[in-house]
Amino acid sequence: MIDPWSSAIVNYEKLIEEFGIKPFHDLLGDLEDPHILMRRGIVFGHRDYGRIVKAIREKTNFAVVTGMMPSGKMHIGHKMIVDQLIWYQEKGAEIYIPIADMESYSARGIDFPEAKNIAIEEYITNYIALGLDPDDKNLHIYLTSENKIVTDLAYKLAKRVNMNEMKAIYGFSGSTNIAHIYAPMIQVADILHPQLEECGGPKPTVVPVGPDQDPHIRLTRDIAERFQSQFKFITPSSTYHRFITGLTGGKMSSSKPKTAIFLSDSPDVALKKLKSAKTGGRESLAEQKKMGGVPEDCVIYEMLLYHLLPSDSQLKEIHQQCREGSIMCGECKAHAAERMKDFFKDLKKKREKAKNKARTILDDELN
Ligand code: SF4
């Protein structure tokens, strides 16, 4: 069982084997210009993504849904979702970004006004600063508690879901509060509502997620099929990306500040954090020169891979130099730190600019 509210690290190969997630690389050749995260294997799996490939190639209508639960600060690992959204926006997708304020209330005890504030100041500001076009008419950002289409649909869909099923999927017990038990139904409705007639009717829909969110995807796909004759839903597709490793090893998590570089960190703080990160270097320089480092076990290399180095050839070169011991961690870290500082300097300016737009975007969506 995978618990979407815990932070356990997931064994990716096991997911592919046991839960029927398909390897993403099989589809790479079908995309004209796959996203860098797809090309580099960070987006590693999918369910029914062929429908989305077809829609992109034929330039037909499709939707992307990816929610955010406003419960803390955004860290650099969260940037992966925004990067993918920008790519989908360029492909003409309808983009839906539900802000799961009902879930943060039921699962984390955060009040609605506070959740709204976190969503605006933290998430929406960063999404815009990272490059999502807020003026795209196909972009819909909304609070789930204020979207009546979604809450009504959740209630209708819940008619055909029972408690045994929720227990089996999520491990809910007799002491789980009812609001928490109901919260996944809101997510199911978030994912399926773009296919309602009032939102343009049935269309392929993809949900890019981390593998910890797969229980929601499986439940949604099952429910879409149960209601197929009533709503003509096309079973939603999904993609799965690897998590970024935290600065101390393990998973990067907003609730463990020592593991994370936050997008709101100053360039100097971000730089300092990166310099303290765990590397795949050896005990001594002599040993590293002789045996080489282990880039696969290095947070610095991962930062370059996921975020900081767009050139595949330069990345390959660093990988090779590391493996053969011709580059030492000090030099390599300094290189990554320069890039990190530039990125954070630029982001800081863009965050300032994005703030005003972020404050109005939720009101615009409702009007
Ligand atoms: Fe990581 Fe660079 Fe050291 Fe290799 S040389 S282990 S990539 S920091």
Distance 243 CA to ligand 1 centre (A): 19
What pLDDT is recorded for position 111?
A: 94
DSSP string over 197-252? GGGTS---EEEEE-GGGHHHHHHHHHHHHHTHHHH-PPPPEEEEEPPPBPBTBSB-
Rounded to an integer, what distance in angstroms lies between the CA atom of residue 123 and that of residue 118?
Answer: 7
| Mean pLDDT estimate for the chain | 91
| Residue among 251, 271, 302 nearest 294 (CA) | 302
- What are the b/e assignments for 35-52, b being 16+ CB within 10 Å? bbbbeeebbbbbbebebb
Look at residue 95 and tell me whether its pLDDT is greater than 60: yes
Nearest CA to ligand 1 atom 6: 280
Per-residue model confidence (pLDDT) at position 4? 41
Residue 325 and residue 289 in contact, taking contact as beta carbons nearer than 8 Å? yes
Q: Band the pLDDT of 367: cuts 50, 70, 90.
A: very low
356-366 residue pLDDT tens: 899 888 876 55
Confidence of residue 71 (pLDDT cuts 50, 70, 90): confident
Rounded CA-CA distance 73/185 in Å is 25
| Residue 132 clears pLDDT 80, i.e. is over it | yes
Name the 3-class secondary structure at 31: coil
Lay out the sheet containing 205-209: strands in order across. 22-23, 43-47, 237-241, 205-209, 63-65, 94-99, 139-143
Alpha helix positions (H), 244-328? 267-275, 285-291, 299-303, 312-324
Q: Which residue's C-alpha comes closest to atom 5 of ligand 1?
A: 329
pLDDT for 5 equals: 46
Binned at pLDDT 50, 70 and 90, residue 213 comes out as confident
Ligand 1 centre to CA of 277 (Å) is: 11
- pLDDT tens by residue, 172-190: 888 888 888 898 999 999 9
205 forms beta bridges with: 63
Q: Which of 342, 267, 338, 260 is nearest to 299 (CA)?
A: 260
Average confidence (pLDDT) over 23-35: 94
| 8 A C-beta contact, residue 129 and residue 348 | no
- Flag whether pLDDT at 248 surpasses 90: no
Task: Tell which atom from ligand 1 comes closest to the C-alpha of 328.
Answer: 5
Residue indicated by tokens 């089996």: 168
For residue 291, report the distance from its CA to the centre of ligand 1, in Å.
12
Q: Ligand 1: which residues within 6 Å by Cβ?
A: 279-281, 293, 295, 298, 300-301, 322, 327, 329, 332-333
* Per-residue DSSP letter, 51: H
The reported pLDDT for the residue numbered 258 is: 85
Q: How many residues does the chain have?
A: 367
Among 91-105, 151-165, 242-256, 300-314, the minimum mean pLDDT is found in 242-256
